[in-house]
Amino acid sequence: MRICVITDDNSGFTKKEAAEIGIKVLRMPIIVDGEVFFQDENLSYDQFFKFLEEDKDIKTSQPSPGDVLKIWDEALKEYDAIIHIPMTSGLSESCHSAQLLAEQEEYKGKVFVVDNHRISITLKRSVYDALNLIKQGKNPAEIKQILEETKADSSIFIMVDTLKYLKKGGRVTPAGAALGATLHVKPVLQIMGGKLDAYAKVMGVKKAKRTMLDAIQHELENKFKNYSKDELDFAVAYTYDEEASIEWQKEVEEKFGVTNIIRNPLSLSVSTHIGPGALAIAVSRKIN
């Protein structure tokens, strides 16, 4: 059986990377002053952050049903079935919308929508896991079941440089945002149960990074205590400041004794709500 893996660009896959490993990527709409843009199509990384700097009205939206069905229909011309892994349902309705579309008669038994509460670098790990399961001969229903049963086998922590964009998205009160701006507080967030939650508020970038490293160490000693480092996938992510991300990658590799970990910019869709200067770290169990 020929199975196609489809994800959205919140996974961090570029067009080139997607083509190299044989997956398809659904682009998430980004609306700037009422005009619709798509990452890697008509909106570059630098242009997006210029829009943020200019304080443009930037919003995100889920893909239209037409765009979802179009990528499915194109894939089904070549493949027998689709594993569709969108961003977590806890942060977008795009997963639920895809599940409803997959219930249509022409897609039943052909499109399997996975909700395993992942986003960004953990979502990217899920795509690699799906590809490995395909190589092992698993059928689409089995792959969906395995990915959803292991949804809790990842942890991700994010340091936000400013509360401004979270405030715009209604995720922090104006008073809280003002406090952060005044005291240089760096919020550390986590993805828990598919949703974005506060983890800690600390003073300065160094303390925020130390907080994230300690958080991952705690996860290794508890959630992942039964797995060796070879069974785990470490990754870092960032928004805009690549130089800072390279240094962050080195710190993570030194702390946990791992090398050549994945380092990705956060998608523009995620960056809309996070803003520039963010750093993230994640660890996920690899599905064998």
Q: Note the pLDDT tens digit of each residue in 12-59.
A: 998 889 999 999 999 999 999 999 999 989 999 999 999 999 999 999
pLDDT band at residue 165 using 50, 70 and 90 as cut-offs? confident
The torsion defined by the Cα of 50, 53, 57 and 58, in degrees rounded to 10, comes to 60
The sign of the CA dihedral 204, 10, 31, 92 is negative
**CA dist 137 → 3, 83, 111, 235 (Å):** 10, 14, 17, 27
For residues 166 and 160, the answer to whether their CB atoms sit within 8 Å is yes
Domains of the chain listed by start with CATH number = 3-28+63-149 (3.40.50.10170), 154-285 (3.30.1180.10)
pLDDT band at residue 134 using 50, 70 and 90 as cut-offs? very high
pLDDT band at residue 186 using 50, 70 and 90 as cut-offs? confident
pTM, two decimals, is 0.91
The residues facing 284 across adjacent strands are: 154, 233
Q: What is the pLDDT of residues 251-274, one digit of tens each?
A: 999 999 999 899 999 999 999 988
Q: What is the pLDDT of residues 60-76, one digit of tens each?
A: 999 999 999 999 999 99
Q: Can you give the pLDDT at residue 91?
A: 81
- In angstroms, the CA 100 to CA 123 distance is 21
For residues 227 and 285, the answer to whether their CB atoms sit within 8 Å is yes
**CA dist 270 → 39, 76, 229 (Å):** 11, 29, 28
Structure tokens belonging to residue 172: 């922090």
- In angstroms, the CA 110 to CA 186 distance is 45
3-class SS of residue 120: coil
Q: How many helices (H) and strands (E) does the chain have?
A: 11, 13
Q: Phi and psi for 203 in degrees, rounded to 5?
A: -90, 110
| Burial tier of 203 (Cβ tally within 10 Å: 0-12, 13-18, 19+) | exposed
**CA dist 243 → 61, 199, 271 (Å):** 30, 25, 17
**CA dist 279 → 8, 157, 208, 243, 282 (Å):** 21, 9, 9, 11, 11
Q: Can you give the pLDDT at residue 172?
A: 56
Q: Can you give the pLDDT at residue 179?
A: 52
pLDDT band at residue 180 using 50, 70 and 90 as cut-offs? low
